[in-house]
Structure 1
């Protein structure tokens, strides 16, 4: 098996693992923006939705940009982009973690 044949399973698996949370987050953002309630409403987020929005946008960015980090051919061809994306991923990861802590500590159960 060549290296090219072995490089695709990880990105494909990451796309599969990311698809459902990204779709759910997108539906929640649409609902928060005043769109139809496709998923059950949650009263905890109605008063102060900013941490949830930061969490969803950060996690979506982390998932989509992170997939490209695991593609060796793309990484070799775009090394400068790969480095900048890594820094952006670190920021996105911190935003996701901080917003998750905020929601855990300050939103009522």
Structure 2
């Protein structure tokens, strides 16, 4: 029987493979969700660099009184990363949800990033 971690790793690899095939050279909006925080990065895989990032661990987000474990914080992070990505000259990305379902915090982050100016 496969372990839960092994299944998540297979799901993550399968998704990244599909994204690489369909990306058309666009940067990847990668999400990492833990039980207490959420992190997001806009990554240019061709050059191997991070173009923009945001996290609930940043001082400005923590001072606003947001915890990292709710949908409201994910919405704030989605808008923040979209603002930073547009400032860096990125308008179109592919959404990499990792091994997480498109539901809850991940969905809220994606919708906020779309509202902030990113298209995917």
TM-score range, shorter chain: 0.3 to 0.5
Q: Work out which structure has the larger RCO, using CA pairs closer than 8 Å and 6 or more positions apart in sequence.
A: 1
Larger radius of gyration: 1
Q: Which structure has greater helix proportion?
A: 1
Q: Which structure has greater strand proportion?
A: 2
TM-score between both structures, scaled by the size of structure 2: 0.32
